[in-house]
Amino acid sequence: MRGGHALDGPAPAGASGQRPPPASTGGASAAEDARLIAGVLRNDRQMFAELYRRHVDSVYARLTRVVGPVPERDDLVQHIFLDVHRALPRFRGEAKFSTFLHRIVLNVACEHLERRRRQRGRTRDLESQQLDGVIAPEASPEARVRARQELAEVFRRLESLSPKRRIAFVLVAVEGLSLEEAAALAGCSPDAVKQRVLEARRELARGRADRDAEEGGHDEIG
């Protein structure tokens, strides 16, 4: 980690993957998606179940990176796919289905983060078992302890960001998307994404400086 800060570089030690790849459909082909979507529009429930199975892992992965390993994720995933089902009649194939899908993922994530900010007094720290879900299972006990501490710090610091800045930061700084790719998912211009990422970095740096100063003050008193 550059400078020893989890948000400045790769994932914490023991975390699942050093830099998570952009959430995508992987080998899911556009032709197969089109076939399944056509079936869904004919009210074929089996086709929607297959579409869900093909994409749920990438949805869950991106949602976790954006909102954290919170217990509400399962409910949010169900919300996302309900929204997808309702929105499919408006899908014209001008963009890839994965782009259409992950725009909905980010919309649902943004709404969830907005609600959480309004209820900030009720926000609680993530528990060990929630953090364990994003730590590589083969990690040693020592690495797991260290990863829990670092991940908890990462998500605690992300809580200081507005939802739009947080989403832009995760897409660009964590997932490694280009400004254009992030803009296509976030539904804004590349310049807007760039500005949000810059503002997020400044805000995170200020928060870290304030925390370091506070800890330094405690050390002097001690």
Q: For 138, phi and psi rounded to 5 degrees?
A: -85, 0
Q: How far is CA 205 from CA 149, 152, 157, in A?
A: 19, 17, 10
Question: pTM for this structure?
Answer: 0.76
| CA gap 129, 66 in Å, rounded | 18
| CA gap 193, 184 in Å, rounded | 10
Q: Could you tell me if residue 156 is left (phi over 0), alpha (psi between -120 and 50 degrees) or otherwise beta? A: alpha
pLDDT score, position 106:
98
pLDDT score, position 187:
94
pLDDT score, position 91:
94
- Helix axis angle, 179-186 to 190-221, nearest 10°: 100
Which amino acid appears at position 126 of this protein?
Answer: L
pLDDT score, position 153:
79
Q: Which residues of 15-43 are buried (b: 16+ CB within 10 A; e: fewer)?
A: bbeeebebbbbeebeeeebeebbebbeee
Q: Other CB atoms closer than 10 Å to residue 208's CB: what's the count?
A: 16
Q: What one-character DSSP code corresponds to residue 135? A: B
Helix/strand/coil percent split, the chain, to 5: 70, 0, 25
What the chain holds in terms of domains, given with CATH numbers, is 2-221 (1.10.1740.10)
pLDDT score, position 70:
87
Are 172 and 193 in contact, with CB atoms under 8 Å apart?
yes
Averaged in consecutive runs of 10 residues, what is the pLDDT profile of the chain (222 residues)? 37 40 52 95 96 95 91 95 96 91 98 88 54 60 71 82 95 94 96 97 83 60 50
pLDDT score, position 214:
64
